Chains A and B, each alone.
Chain A
Amino acid sequence: MIDTRKLVFFSLLVAMGTTLHVVEGMIPNPFPLPGVKLGLANIVTVVAVYFYGLREGLAVTVARVFLGSLIGGMFLSPGFLLSLTGAVISTLVMSLLLHGAPGFSIKGVSVAGAITHNIGQLLAASLILRSSSIFYYLPFLLLAGTATGMITGHRLSILVARLEKTGIMCRHEG
């Protein structure tokens, strides 16, 4: 028996994630660094992982990267590969922290997600370019990731608390 509620909510998450991904991509990047994004699309990933678990989180992530790239016109481009790698790795790490290490709050998980997203992108880029020179950007990306992670983390903790309060969702136990 398919859980209709889960299906609907899941679709909502994918739709929102895709939109956020596309919109994010349209915001011009003020820094001379590749891959600095606000990480808004990460929000749906965290929500999915928090309320449903790793599998659903991965599904949402992969779906929103694919769809977002299709719509944004970047499908199968190197940028797409970077996004995908970063997003998947960050989803795995966030899931590990959310369910396996209860000492972290949503804010911390968000920061961890943001920086692992950036590191994942750097790894993918270094493979594409076959050069390690790109790690020159690492310190900056770590700092940027911490900042964006804290911002989205703050919003996320409010969002998750509200969702829990309404009673519709309850936290998935790892």
Chain B
Amino acid sequence: MPTVRGLPVGMKNRAIVWLLLAGFLAAVFGLFLYLRRPVEYRSEQFLMDTFVSIRVYGRDREKLREAVTAAFTEMRRIAELSNRFPPTGTAEHRTSDVCRINDMAGVGAVRVDQDVFSMLESARAFHDLTGGAFDVTVGPVMDLWGFGGKKPHVPKAGNIQDALALVDNARLILDRKERTAFLEKAGMSLDLGAVAKGYATERAVLALKRSGVEKALIDAGGNIRVLGKSAGNNPWRIGIKNPSREGDILAVLSLEDSAAVTSGDYYRYFESGGIRWHHIIDPRTGYPARGSRSVTVVAKDAGPADVLSTALFVLGPEKALETGKKLGVEVIIVTADGRLLYTLGIRNRLEVLDSARHRHDQG
């Protein structure tokens, strides 16, 4: 048998063939992995008077795009149904269930969309659970202060008292069988500002899940909802702003499949007479709630997180921690006197960056 360097020629060729085959397979495999590598898809839209950004991770860019489109469609739908600001006579006004309910205040019941009804029922539940600290019928008072408009100002005490008479959750009649809502007294009006964003965000996440997305982050003007983990298979890192210092991050949350919503006195307010008047009105007094500067609620569902962030802000720090614990959500509070409080359950996922002043609730 002919040999080359001691090896039969035939066998040497076989070795080369083997190596080439292995190399080829490795290349094919590598190409396959490359085509299926994780991709990110981002998209933003202006909705509900704020900037909504959705970020998803997956392997098929086209499918991701479709999922995000579906999610935004859902959010837009909820936004249109719950918007109370379009002027009378416009098309937006006619399609908004909230506008229709407000128009028919004192007149009659209005049949509404299933999602709107769910929001109203949820709002009622939280009104009862928080002893009235949350009330969607606070519309007349909000209008007085003018936060939605161009010139917010401190209303006269007498006007506030009059408006408060129109704030009464018990007079929002909900009929489950007919799916109608009725504001009993003329002049009453609903404001779903603290409900709709969270609800819409949760619906968006459902749309993403239905489309097979497993990793996503929705940022609806500061309402954060994360699905799964981030691209590197780590929990999402969500910062909590320091109410006192511009741009400073106080703490970082590490979240998976959760929502984090913050209500604070530092992004919608005006100053008058040396006092800061912010937009989170206590429906029981008609004035901005004091005691907390920011309240962040972490929960599994963005809907309750949104509602509770407002409700617990109104309740003030101590009651907020207590109520949050009772309702099974985690709460992080920056009080008016600069303390950082949080419920025990969030301790493992909260990294306080400015460790100078804090104390945590042992609850």
Contact = CB atoms under 8 A, between A and B. Distances in A.
A100 interface: yes
A131 B15 CA distance: 37
Nearest to B18: A101
Contacts of B11: 102-103
Contacts of B15: 101-104
Contacts of B19: 101
Nearest to A132: B233
A131 B233 CA distance: 8
Chain B interface residue number, banded = under 10
How many A residues touch the partner, as a band?
Answer: under 10
A166 B18 CA distance: 32
B153 interface: no
Nearest to A97: B18
Nearest to B14: A102
Interface in A84-139: 100-104, 130-132
B157 interface: no
Interface string B5-22: 001000110110011000
A165 B201 CA distance: 77
Contacts of B12: 102-103
Contacts of B18: 100-101
Interface in B274-331: none
A100 B20 CA distance: 13
A127 to B, nearest CB: 13
B305 to A, nearest CB: 27
Contacts of A103: 7, 11-12, 15
Nearest to B19: A101
A104 to B, nearest CB: 8
Contacts of A102: 7, 11-12, 14-15
Nearest to A104: B15
A36 B7 CA distance: 35
A65 B189 CA distance: 75
Contacts of B14: 100-102
A104 B233 CA distance: 40
A132 B234 CA distance: 11
Contacts of B7: 102-103
B14 to A, nearest CB: 7
Nearest to A100: B18
Interface in A49-104: 100-104
Interface in B12-42: 12, 14-15, 18-19
B215 to A, nearest CB: 15
Contacts of A100: 14, 18
B291 to A, nearest CB: 42
Contacts of A104: 15
Contacts of A101: 14-15, 18-19
A31 B316 CA distance: 56
B24 to A, nearest CB: 15
B19 to A, nearest CB: 7
A134 to B, nearest CB: 13
A101 B14 CA distance: 7
A132 B38 CA distance: 15
Interface string A128-165: 00111000000000000000000000000000000000
A93 B193 CA distance: 64
A132 B19 CA distance: 29
A131 B229 CA distance: 13
Nearest to B232: A132
Ranked nearest first, the 6 interchain pairs of A and B with the lowest CB-CB distance are A103-B15, A102-B11, A101-B18, A101-B15, A100-B18, A102-B15
13 contacts: A100-B14, A101-B14, A101-B18, A102-B7, A102-B12, A102-B14, A102-B15, A103-B11, A103-B12, A103-B15, A130-B233, A131-B233, A132-B233
Interface of B: 7, 11-12, 14-15, 18-19, 233
Given A104-B15, A132-B233, 14 more contacts: A100-B18, A101-B14, A101-B15, A101-B18, A101-B19, A102-B7, A102-B11, A102-B14, A103-B7, A103-B11, A103-B12, A103-B15, A130-B233, A131-B233
